[in-house]
Amino acid sequence: MIKITLKDGAKMEVEKGTTILEVAKKISEGLSRVATCGEVNGEIKDLRYELKEDCNLTIHTFQKEDLDGKKAYWHTTSHIMAQAVKRIFPDAKLAIGPSIDDGFYYDFDVEKPFTDEDKAKIEEEMKNIIKEDIKIERFSLPKKEALELMKEEPYKQELIEDLPEGEEISFYKQGDFTDLCAGPHLMSTGKVKAIKILTSSGAYWRGNEKNKMLQRIYAISFPKASELQEYLDLLEEAKKRDHKKLGKELDLFMISPEGPGFPFFLPKGMVLRNVLEDFWRKLHNEKGYVEIKTPMILNEELWHRSGHWDHYKDNMYTTKIDDVDFGIKPMNCPGGMIVYKHDMHSYRDLPIRAGELGLVHRHEKSGELNGLFRVRCFTQDDAHIFCLPEQMESEIAGVIKLVDKVYSVFGFPYKVELSTRPEDSMGSDELWNMAESTLKKVLEELKIPYELNEGDGAFYGPKIDFHIKDCLGRSWQCGTVQLDFQMPERFDLTYIGEDGEKHRPVMLHRVIFGSIERFIGILIEHYAGAFPTWLAPVQVKILPISEKHLEYAKKLYDEMFAQEIRVEIDSSNEKIGYKIRKTQMEKIPYMLVVGDKEIENNTVSVRSREKGDIGACNVDEFISKLKEEILDRK
């Protein structure tokens, strides 16, 4: 018998060789019906997996927050889609078909792109395969036999060739279809219920533009038809909120063919951006930060010294100046080190909290560019905190509290992840263990729940990541705080301690917005372009009913402009109904209709974007309430 410890701490004994699915059945029939995979001592395994020793076991299902459970479900569906394609297009060659955070895709080498008619046929055939409820079986082969099995599939053969010699290579078989795959998968095709093919596009084999262009089909699946419909409704809502579409309609930003991946911010977009940056500066000033600005181009040697060259060189832009190699910065950190080193520091000077709204550049492939979400230049709201070892816990806590304050202003709930040492890290085990335990201690003392994200830390230190959730339930990783003992060592950063000797400071890296550009894209979609009044590029639009009311409108404009309210007048000759509809399309928080009655009574007729027609209001009273709303960032 072996002992199993379940996720909730409960323990049970089972016979050696019992599968994960059999354990699920022992717990409950209901769990066995919805189980998708298991996690044994931190490793994701098939439900078929036989337990051979004492272990910790988590059984995953298709739950809202259980991404591992969903991925096993979606990975199975990707094989169903590949089987359907092979039935309809027997000459299609299979590439890869992974699950992703929002469904799955499969890449195929076919003669011509898939049409809408093709995708409809594939979806119908997928439904047939699901109805057939074909048993899914796992088996493995030595490399030579694996190559022979996949002799008609050149892309699979290439993947097999890359695998180490002597390794058993796993496959999954469902009826007449077999695919190279590490799994995990469901027990049969019938376990999948509701499916939908979403879109298709071209994709280079292995993401390399030098390779052949394949055809990629994206799709989604759910255990219930109602969940699928809910997801499709969400997609429709997301299309309406698409920041690229709204950015164009609201004149916020543009992407020009002359600068792919390099966004242009238009006047209204700059207002939004400046309001965000002013908010950032005010908060940081209150928290004792100073602001710095470092150059965009720095000597290549610096990037070798920092370690960034080994990790970012493929994404860096480089240039030569006076026959010396320079790198355009993909990160602000090394510049922050140079600023610190320009002067000698005493222990009395620390902590030093140096913030920077720094423009960085990274080369992204053209196919991966996406409005403001994926660009080639962006501004990080960086800060680097240099502190004494005994100050690091309080400084980390201060960052966490600042992050919480910022996100609460925008109404973003968030979850926290602690990311630990990656494989390509630098530094000693001792320092990494101390850094990780420090971050854990701070989170636990603040009573902040967190998930462990093993192996996803920065190469120089572990980190706490903050994932905000927008109004559609989508998660965005924005903020982070990273504890770094490595950079101070590499750059020989020191301070003079109480003992008069030189000591090494501890360094924290942190961002809150992450990227100003990306955060603006998130805000556009979160608010569907209807920004809160304090953020809105135009807060008030004055609509004179006719030309004779224009003078009063200008008087109101001057009064509001003097009080730093962002206001415009619609002085066109259009009818008032048209003006109102146009202003509604512009998503401006308040419009003020002015005519004879308003001039006579020194009032304005107020229409709110949120509440509709509010009616007549005294001018001073309206301005007072508006300023209060802006000041409170409601």
Domain residue extents for the chain: 2-61, 69-240, 253-527, 540-631
CB atoms within 10 A of CB 522: 23
Q: How far apart are CA 497 and CA 505, in angstroms?
A: 10
Exposed e or buried b per residue across 547-576, where buried means at least 16 C-beta atoms within 10 angstroms of its C-beta: eebeebbeebbeebeeeebbbbbbeeeeeb
DSSP 171-218: EEEETTEEEE------SBGGG--EEEEEEEEEEEGGG-TTS-EEEEEE
When pLDDT is averaged across residues 535-553 and rounded to a whole number, the result is 96
566 has catalytic annotation? no
Is 229 marked active-site? no
**pLDDT tens digits for range 475-512:** 899 999 999 888 898 899 999 999 999 999 999 999 99
Kindly report the number of other CB atoms within 10 A of residue 405's CB atom. 13
- Across the range 137-151, mean pLDDT stands at 94
How much is the average pLDDT of 89-100?
95
Which of the following CATH numbers is that of domain 2-61: 3.40.50.10490, 3.10.20.30, 3.40.50.1820, 3.40.50.300? 3.10.20.30
In angstroms, what CA-CA distances link 64 with 9, 60, 61, 536, 585? 22, 11, 9, 33, 35
User: CATH 3.30.930.10: does it fit domain 253-527?
Assistant: yes
Of the residues 107, 118, 179, 382, only one is catalytic, namely 382
Q: Is 90 exceeded by the pLDDT of residue 351?
A: yes
Model pTM score: 0.85
pLDDT digits (tens, 9 = 90+) for 375-386: 999 999 999 999
For position 461, what pLDDT does the model report? 85
Q: Is 333 a catalytic residue?
A: yes
Q: How many Å separate Cα 10 from the centre of its chain?
A: 35
Give domain 540-631's CATH superfamily.
Anticodon-binding domain (3.40.50.800)
Residue tagged active-site, from 70, 308, 361, 463: 463
Does position 65 have pLDDT exceeding 80, yes or no? no
Alpha helices in 327-385 (DSSP H): 333-341
Q: String of b and e for 453-469 (b: at least 16 CB within 10 Å)? A: eeeebbbbbbbbbbbbe
Q: Does 384 participate in catalysis according to the annotation?
A: yes
Task: Read off the pLDDT of residues 173-210 as tens digits, 9 standing for 90 and up.
Answer: 999 999 999 999 999 999 999 999 999 999 999 888 88
- 428-446 in b/e burial notation, b at 16+ Cβ within 10 A? eeebbeebbebbbebbeee
Catalytic: which of 71, 376, 421, 509? 509
Whether 86 is catalytic is no
387 catalytic? Reply is: no
Question: Which of the following is catalytic: 48, 384, 518, 541?
Answer: 384
Instruction: Judge if 69-240 and 540-631 fold alike in CATH terms.
Output: no
Q: How many CB atoms lie within 10 A of CB 83?
A: 23
Which fold does the domain 69-240 belong to in CATH?
Threonyl-tRNA Synthetase; Chain A, domain 2 (3.30.980)
- Residue-level pLDDT at 266: 97
Give me the catalytic one of 37, 181, 333, 377.
333
Which entry of 86, 362, 376, 587 is annotated as an active-site residue?
362
Q: Is 509 a catalytic residue?
A: yes
β-partners of residue 355 are 291, 383
**Nearest-angstrom CA–CA distance, 167 and 182:** 12
The pLDDT assigned to 63 comes to 85
Q: Which of 83, 174, 215, 380 is catalytic?
A: 380
Q: Sign of the C-alpha dihedral, residues 256, 116, 150, 165?
A: positive
